[in-house]
Amino acid sequence: MTAPNRIDYLRVSLIDRCNFQCVYCMPEGADLQYALREHWLTHDEILQLLSEVFIPLGFTRFRLTGGEPLLRPGIVELVEAIAHLPQTQDLAITTNGFLLEKLAQPLYDAGLRRINISLDSLNAETFQKIIGGKGKSRWQDVWQGIQAAHRVGFSPLKLNVVVIPGINDNEVLDLAALTLNQEWHVRFIEFMPIGNDDLFEHKGWIDSAAIRAQVTERWGLTEGQVAGNGPADVFQIPGAKGTLGFISQMSECFCDRCNRMRLSADGLLRPCLLNESSQIDLRSSLRAGVSLSKIREQVGILVGEKPEINFKMRESGITGAYSRTMSQIGG
């Protein structure tokens, strides 16, 4: 029997708002009820939970998410504080890149070294269709943010692509080609139903094996390696400087490899992306004066239960309906 993974990776959502409205994350018509700002965990509360609850339980790897985390006021100062916790072994951020051109250098100077940027299309029109909104395309702003992150020296620099049939699946080879001459790491993510059931039912999804087959037919593929804490299967086009990752949560369940917990912007801790039944409210406990030792005990129990609370349970109907979109959960 394989030993369970050590649970040592916490994804911390800083904000449930975003300046994009991507069809797979915040679909048009979704009932988005944002948390009031006073319900967000404060910076002090986040740091208190990390240093007094999660780190003593063995968590040493942290990723800041959203919504769009770069919208969070004081993001640079928070990054610096987390990066300088003595036990922090790894700190990363996931962003849509729109604000990154100005923030890349300050974030790097604050101690951030790893970054994931969403880039679902190289075509400005398609990109705008995916992210929603009207007016001037934002593709160029995101591309400039990627270039800024590259110049500053973020490594690895990962580009996330959610592949949606009939929308951007015709760009797989163009996106894969970004790894040929740059030490960039393109990750193809299977489209999954979280708060976007209508689109998912209409479009369906493409499994990673089919995407890999396209790349293999064009260039060939070998196994590759890249630093990170996620579930991607990593490959490399022969001779390429970067790598290709495939995140196959629909076709190749990786629950047995999952080492992460998720903390929402309003303080809900959940052990699984698609499981709301087992989450606990850390913000309410903190503000009610519950001792940090008691909160740590509660979190420790949930961590211990995590191997039995996972994506696969959803197939059995055990988790029930989920009420939050990806942006509200924290990705």
What residues does each domain of the chain span?
A: 9-329
Binding residue per annotation — 261? yes
Q: What is the pLDDT of residue 306?
A: 83
pLDDT, tens only, 146-175: 999 999 999 989 999 999 999 999 999 999
140 CB burial (10 A radius; 0-12, 13-18, 19+): exposed
Distance CA 245, CA 175 (A): 12
Q: What is the mean pLDDT of residues 136-154?
A: 95
Q: What is the CATH number of domain 9-329?
A: 3.20.20.70
Binding residue per annotation — 253? no
Binding residue per annotation — 258? yes
Cβ–Cβ contacts within 10 Å for residue 64, how many? 27
Binding residue per annotation — 63? yes
Binding residue per annotation — 262? yes
Instruction: Kindly write down the DSSP assignment for every residue of 262-302, as one continuous string.
Output: EE-TTSEEESBTTB-TT-EEHHHHHHTT--HHHHHHHHHHH
Binding residue per annotation — 272? yes
pLDDT, tens only, 297-319: 999 999 998 877 655 554 544 44
Binding residue per annotation — 158? yes
pLDDT band for 1, please (50, 70, 90 cuts): very low
Kindly report which listed range (9-23, 30-44, 245-259) carries the lowest average pLDDT score: 245-259
Q: What is the mean pLDDT of residues 43-49?
A: 98
Binding residue per annotation — 67? yes
Binding residue per annotation — 11? yes
Distance CA 267, CA 285 (A): 9
Binding residue per annotation — 118? yes
Q: What is the pLDDT of residue 24?
A: 81
Q: What is the pLDDT of residue 308?
A: 72
* Residue 193 clears pLDDT 70, i.e. is over it: no
Binding residue per annotation — 22? yes
* Residue 200 clears pLDDT 80, i.e. is over it: no
**Residue of higher predicted confidence among 84 and 321:** 84
